[in-house]
């Protein structure tokens, strides 16, 4: 079919950065190994040659220093894209993100805004064990002053960056590490920018709503496929934006299906799934025909061994079982 | 004090401005302490009394277009930078007419008009941000210096080292001003640093640095002018270690159990005004009656600031969530 190209998620991220840098000279990329190395996940491979060292800026291993510098550069009129290798490493720059980026606008009485975009890889599934595999999106989604997005599809990876760069407030983009090699279709020609205000309905059904985001979307769609063979049809909602949540679309779907399952790679305790469950209880309690189910990561640091890692994470079977439970099947 | 100071224009007018600013900061803060006791000002209140020569001397060497990043002990910096005393006082009160609409308070004075990016209250948290402001200026070809103030306690933080390294590595136009008052809250420098010569950290990042008498406003101005001219010439960042002293408690909750009263008294003898006033009189730059006149002007300005803050309205509670995010209508 003409008008569509098949590319990987990694290509989509790279194309999006390339396009942004071509369109807006204020945009630059900064982070560990984004230049000569080409990015830890090869997202910026080739960009150094095209844009030079000023705009594809390798940094020392100073997460707080360069993330803070990105925040400062945004205050100073630039549109930086800061790449943090993984969400686990971002704990070293939490101070800058939470105490500076998220607060400055409000704390200054609206005088300053911080149009920085911070991209980071998240999630497990590659046997990287307990310091490279966690899903801490919810930590950021907890914080007023930030917008948090999680592109789950190649199309969204291609389109969300430009939308995020237009936002005058700080945006954190979470890219699930298992997605980088995934292929998907994008329009051959732009504009590619996508709406990041609304959750996307990835599949429609009437029996249950499955709400998910990021790296869990593909598992959820597979579970929905399996359930379809049992004549269970599901609405699959891809949140896309984790803060602010599209509560309206969540509640509308639950009002239609009367059952909700939330799939979230974060740990269950204190999870985004817990927040969504609470919103459903507050806004759609009398629409529910069954308790809300949550499919989350087991309460353990992510183990190295493959079978143990898989056992810790949400699975297709686990998602399908949770949906059946809401239907008492 | 010295007889002459390189690059400092020692006219009567200039001496008067320095004296006026230092006295304004002193009287303003004395009033703040009183208003704290009267519960008009709440939260944390960190007084700069004793350290005035630093903010006043540094600001003299900066242009209106330069950027300022300060700490939670920043009343003096805000006033020396030219933020109206009335708006700073209204901020202390938490009023909507305050420089940060009452959202920031004493620790977070901000003014976009003055390129005063704020008081930052996480020790060393402002340093990476200052590096970023300077990076933006360098990338945009702006001839601007970013001046970043912090205390010597910041030298123990990782962000201090990360920021110094980045600024030196990328040759960014940052003036780092360490106001070394000897105590990180109640912890004496020699109890927290293996090397108490803070400026030596800068040298370890191949950054030029010097030590300044932070009780002598002219020495501070002299050193800052020299540093800023090097930065503007494209020589990269510069680090000043200003040796100074805080005469008052760390904050209003501090019982000062960690230092001897005699030590405070010794430093008070070297107070910035204690030194500057007789020096300017001896040099015939200012007279005793000039000082009386300045005190009168300052008393009027402080009284006006208090009256302004008292009369100013509170922000309506309905605005609580305003400016957490940019409103949709303001987005392009």
* Nearest by CB: B100 against A107, A147, A167: A107
Which tens digit of pLDDT belongs to each residue from A303-316?
999 999 999 999 99
Decide if A68 and B330 are in contact by the 8 Å CB cutoff.
no
Mean pLDDT on A7-22 = 98
CATH number of A200-326: 3.40.50.920
Q: Assess whether pLDDT exceeds 60 at residue A1.
A: no
The residues, any chain, with a CB within 8 Å of residue A125's CB and separated by 6 or more, are A133, A177, A178, A215, A309, A313
What pLDDT does B331 receive?
74
Q: What is the mean pLDDT of chain B?
A: 96
Residue A159 has pLDDT above 70, yes or no: yes
Question: What are residue A210's DSSP bridge partners?
Answer: A236, A261
Distance CA A117, CA A67 (A): 10
Residue A198 sits at the chain B interface (C-beta within 8 Å)? no
Shortest distance, CA A42 to any CA of chain B (angstroms): 24
Rounded to the nearest angstrom, the minimum Cα separation between A65 and chain B is 5
The percentage of residues in chain A with a pLDDT greater than 90, rounded to a whole number, is 96
Residue contacts between A and B (CB atoms, under 8 Å): 149
Please give the pLDDT value at position B329.
Answer: 79
Domains A4-187 and A200-326 share a fold: yes
Ordered alpha helix ranges (H), A116-246:
137-141, 154-166, 217-228
- Is B127 within 8 Å of A166 when comparing Cβ atoms? no
Q: Do A73 and B133 touch (CB under 8 A)?
A: yes
Question: Which of A28, A75, A166 is closest, CB to CB, to B133?
Answer: A75
B331/A166 Cβ within 8 A: yes
Topology of the domain covering A4-187: Rossmann fold (3.40.50)
**CATH superfamily to which B12-306 belongs:** Thiamin diphosphate (ThDP)-binding fold, Pyr/PP domains (3.40.50.970)
Contacts of A110 (CB under 8 A, 6+ apart): B101, B322, B323
Q: A72–B324: do the CB atoms touch at under 8 Å?
A: no
Residue tagged 């950054």 (tokens): B207
Q: Which of A166, A159, A145, A180 is nearest to A40 (CA)?
A: A180
Give the one of A65, A99, A111 whose C-beta lies nearest to B163's C-beta. A65
Residues of chain B with C-beta less than 8 angstroms from the C-beta of A104: 118
Q: Do B127 and A68 touch (CB under 8 A)?
A: yes
Residue A236 pLDDT level (bands cut at 50, 70, 90) = very high
Q: Quote the pLDDT of residue A2.
A: 64
Q: Under an 8 A CB cutoff, do A68 and B131 touch?
A: yes
Catalytic (active-site) positions of A: 63, 132
The rounded distance, in Å, linking the Cα atoms of A133 and B108 is 37
Percentage of chain A modeled with pLDDT above 70: 99
Q: How far is B13 from chain A (nearest CA, A)?
A: 34
In sequence order, the β-bridge partners of residue A199 are: none
Share of chain B above pLDDT 70, in %: 100
B window 30-59, beta carbon within 8 A of A: none
Residue B132 to residue A72, Cβ atoms within 8 A: yes
pLDDT tens for each residue of A65-95: 999 999 999 999 999 999 999 999 999 999 9
Averaged pLDDT for residues A90-102: 98
A67 touching B (Cβ < 8 Å): yes
Q: What is the pLDDT of residues A240-253, one digit of tens each?
A: 999 999 999 999 99
Chain B residue numbers touching A166 (CB-CB < 8 A)? 331-332
- How far lies B6's CA from each of B22, B224, B240, B317, in Å? 21, 11, 16, 53
On whether any CB of chain B is under 8 Å from the CB of A96, the answer is yes
- Contact between B128 and A104 using a beta-carbon 8 Å cutoff: no
pLDDT in tens, B35-49: 999 999 999 999 999
B240 Cβ contact list (under 8 Å, min separation 6) = B58, B175, B176, B177, B178, B199, B209, B210, B212, B223, B224, B227
The pTM assigned to this predicted structure is 0.96
pLDDT of residue A180: 97
Ranges under pLDDT 50 in chain B: none
For residue range A175-208, list pLDDT tens digits in order: 999 999 999 999 999 899 888 889 999 999 999 9
pLDDT of residue B330: 79
Is any Cβ of chain B less than 8 angstroms from the Cβ of A73?
A: yes
Using a CB-CB cut-off of 8 Å, the residues of chain B touching A70 are: 132
Cβ atoms of B181 and B244 closer than 8 Å: yes
User: Closest approach of chain B CAs to the CA of A70, in angstroms?
Assistant: 6
Task: Determine the pLDDT at residue B328.
Answer: 82
- Domain ranges in chain A are 4-187, 200-326
Largest CA distance in chain B: 61
The span from the first CA to the last CA of chain B, in angstroms, equals 55
pLDDT tens digit sequence for B112-153: 999 999 999 999 999 999 999 999 999 999 999 999 999 999
């Amino acid at each position: 079919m003409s008008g569509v190209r098949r590319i990987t998620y990694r290509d989509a991220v790279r194309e999006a950065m390339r396009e942004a840098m071509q369109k807006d000279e204020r945009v630059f990329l900064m982070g560990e190994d984004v230049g000569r190395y080409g990015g830890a996940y090869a997202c910026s491979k080739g960009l150094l040659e095209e844009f030079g060292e000023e705009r594809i800026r390798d940094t020392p291993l100073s997460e707080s220093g360069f993330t803070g510098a990105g925040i400062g550069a945004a205050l100073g009129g630039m549109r930086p894209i800061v790449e943090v290798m993984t969400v686990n490493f971002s704990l070293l720059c939490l101070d800058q993100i939470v105490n500076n980026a998220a607060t400055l606008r409000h704390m200054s009485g609206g005088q300053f805004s911080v149009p920085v975009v911070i991209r980071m890889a998240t999630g497990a599934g590659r046997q990287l064990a307990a310091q490279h595999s966690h899903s801490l999106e919810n930590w950021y989604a907890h914080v007023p002053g930030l917008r948090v997005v999680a592109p789950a599809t190649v199309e969204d990876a291609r389109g969300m960056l430009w939308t995020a760069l237009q936002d005058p407030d700080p945006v954190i983009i979470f890219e699930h590490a298992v997605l980088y090699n995934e292929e998907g279709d994008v329009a051959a020609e732009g504009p590619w920018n996508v709406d990041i205000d609304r959750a996307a309905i990835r599949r429609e059904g009437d029996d249950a709503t499955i709400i998910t985001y990021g790296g869990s979307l593909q598992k959820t769609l597979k579970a929905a496929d399996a359930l379809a063979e049992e004549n269970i049809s599901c609405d699959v909602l891809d949140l896309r934006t984790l803060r602010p949540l599209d509560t309206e679309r969540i509640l509308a779907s639950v009002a239609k299906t009367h059952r909700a399952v939330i799939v979230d790679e974060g740990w269950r305790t204190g999870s985004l799934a817990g927040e969504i469950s609470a919103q459903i209880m507050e806004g759609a309690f009398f629409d529910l025909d069954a308790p809300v189910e949550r499919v989350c990561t087991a309460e353990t640091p992510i183990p190295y061994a493959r079978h143990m890692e898989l056992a810790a994470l949400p699975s297709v079977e686990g998602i399908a079982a949770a949906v059946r439970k809401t239907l008492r099947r | 004090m010295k007889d002459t100071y390189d690059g400092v224009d020692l006219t009567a007018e200039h001496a008067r401005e320095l004296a006026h600013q230092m006295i304004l900061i002193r009287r303003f803060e004395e009033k703040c302490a009183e208003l704290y006791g009267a519960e008009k000002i709440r939260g944390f209140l960190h007084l700069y009394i004793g350290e005035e020569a630093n903010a006043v001397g540094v600001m003299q060497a900066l242009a209106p277009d330069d950027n300022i990043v300060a700490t939670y002990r920043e009343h003096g910096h805000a006033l020396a930078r030219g933020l109206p005393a009335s708006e700073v006082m209204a901020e202390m009160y938490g009023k909507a007419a305050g420089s940060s609409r009452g959202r920031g308070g004493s620790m977070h004075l901000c003014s976009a008009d003055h390129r005063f990016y704020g008081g930052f209250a996480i020790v060393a948290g402002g340093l990476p941000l200052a590096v970023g402001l300077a990076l933006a200026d360098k990338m945009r070809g702006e001839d601007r210096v970013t001046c970043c103030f912090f205390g010597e306690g910041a030298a123990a933080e990782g962000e201090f080292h990360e920021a110094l390294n980045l600024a030196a590595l990328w040759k960014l136009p940052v003036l780092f001003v360490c106001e070394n008052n000897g105590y990180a809250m109640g912890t004496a420098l020699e109890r927290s640093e293996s090397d108490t010569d803070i400026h030596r950290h800068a040298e370890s990042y191949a950054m030029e640095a010097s030590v300044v008498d932070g009780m002598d406003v002219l020495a501070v101005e002299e050193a800052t002018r020299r540093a800023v001219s090097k930065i503007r010439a494209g020589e990269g960042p510069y680090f000043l270690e200003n040796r100074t002293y805080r005469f008052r408690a760390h904050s209003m909750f501090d019982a000062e159990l960690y230092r001897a009263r005699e030590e405070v008294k010794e430093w008070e003898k070297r107070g910035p005004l204690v030194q500057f006033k007789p020096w300017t009189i001896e040099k015939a730059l200012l007279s005793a009656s000039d000082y009386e006149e300045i005190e009168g002007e300052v008393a009027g300005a402080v009284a006006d600031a208090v009256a302004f803050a008292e009369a100013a309205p509170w922000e309506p509670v309905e605005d609580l969530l305003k400016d957490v995010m940019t409103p949709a209508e303001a987005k392009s």
